Amino acid sequence: MTGASSVKTSYPPKSVGRISHLDALRGIAALGVCFHHALYSFRGITGNEFIYRMTGESAVVFFFLLSSFVLCRSLDRGGHSGIAIIPAYYVKRFFRIYPAVLAAVVLAALVALSYRWIPELNDATPWFHEQVAKARSVTGFSAYLMNALLLDRRLDPPLWTIIIELMGSFLLPWLMLLPRRRTAPLFAVGVLLIFFSFRADGCTRYWIAPLFGFYIGYLIHLLDGSSPRMEVISTDVQITVITKTPDPPGGR
């Protein structure tokens, strides 16, 4: 006697939520940027050009790469796509970034106002004194407003990175609309970024070149096997088990 039974096994989907080790990478990059500014701000801290570059510009571009990768995962999560989701994404992104900008500008303004009571730092570099002079030159409500709108960065020069972040965040959802199985559009975007990143004299354009970090983060997302669009959300495996019932004692 032979019987058959079916066992249905479902494998859970891969997690597409927060990747915890990316926070550690962000922390390492943040420490690198802090070290970079310390090298530039105070005499007696030695370093070479390679260390300056790796702890400064490279760490910032790495931030852009991570930001792009995480945003791509967020846009892909749940299978949402299309132009319809872009306005809501812009609103969410604005309120995610701009409150921190306002807080940074207010803090920088308070520090700048306190400079008059801070004695001169003899160990500070000319670069540091230049930044202090720029911050002190901001006076009047209109000047503070221009800094809050990111149209003037004398209070907090590193806010240029926020401008790049906003530009990349604006362009990223449109990149996500490109056909993913066709390499020509992806390649064309990369070529255009490289072309517009350089001026005629060979120097990089300050506002374009860092956006390449967003492009690389987007490509990494496409190659990532845990991308929600690139995996089956659940896999059902139908297993048929054949069992043979032993004959009763004495045979038939």
89 falls within a domain: yes
252 falls within a domain: no
Rg of the chain, C-alpha, whole Å: 27
Count up the domains in the chain and report the number: 1
Task: Say whether pLDDT at 47 is over 70.
Answer: no
Mean pLDDT of all residues in the chain? 76
Task: Say whether pLDDT at 236 is over 70.
Answer: no
Task: Say whether pLDDT at 145 is over 90.
Answer: yes
Backbone phi, psi, residue 201, to 5°: -85, 5
Percent of the chain with pLDDT over 70: 70
238 falls within a domain: yes
Q: Lowest-pLDDT range, 72-86, 104-118, 147-161?
A: 72-86
90 falls within a domain: yes
207-219 in b/e form (b: 16+ CB < 10 A) is: ebbbbbbbbbbbb
d(CA 167, CA 158): 15
Percent of the chain with pLDDT over 90: 25
For residues 52-65, give the mean pLDDT: 81
The answer for residues whose C-beta is within 8 angstroms of residue 108's C-beta and 6 or more apart is: 135, 147, 155, 156
pLDDT 10s digits, 203-225: 666 667 788 889 999 999 988 75
Taking residue 90's Cβ as centre, other Cβ atoms within 10 Å add up to: 14
Q: In this structure, are residues 3 and 245 in contact, taking their beta carbons and an 8 Å threshold?
A: yes
d(CA 211, CA 125): 30
Q: In this structure, are residues 197 and 204 in contact, taking their beta carbons and an 8 Å threshold?
A: yes
Provide the pLDDT for residue 50: 64
Query: H or E stretch including 200?
Result: none
User: Judging by DSSP bridges, how do beta strands 235-244 and 2-11 pair with one another?
Assistant: antiparallel
Provide the pLDDT for residue 170: 93
Confidence of residue 169 (pLDDT cuts 50, 70, 90): very high
For residues 195-200, give the mean pLDDT: 72
The answer for residues whose C-beta is within 8 angstroms of residue 160's C-beta and 6 or more apart is: 153, 206
**Tokens matching residue 22:** 């990316």
Provide the pLDDT for residue 99: 95
9 falls within a domain: yes
Containing domain of residue 96, as a range?
Answer: 2-244
249 falls within a domain: no
- Of these ranges, 40-54, 72-86, 160-174, the one predicted with the greatest mean pLDDT is 160-174
**216: amino acid identity, one letter:** I
For residues 127-151, give the mean pLDDT: 89
| Best CA proximity match to 180, nearest among 238, 208, 219 | 219
Provide the pLDDT for residue 150: 92
157 falls within a domain: yes
For residues 86-106, give the mean pLDDT: 93
251 falls within a domain: no
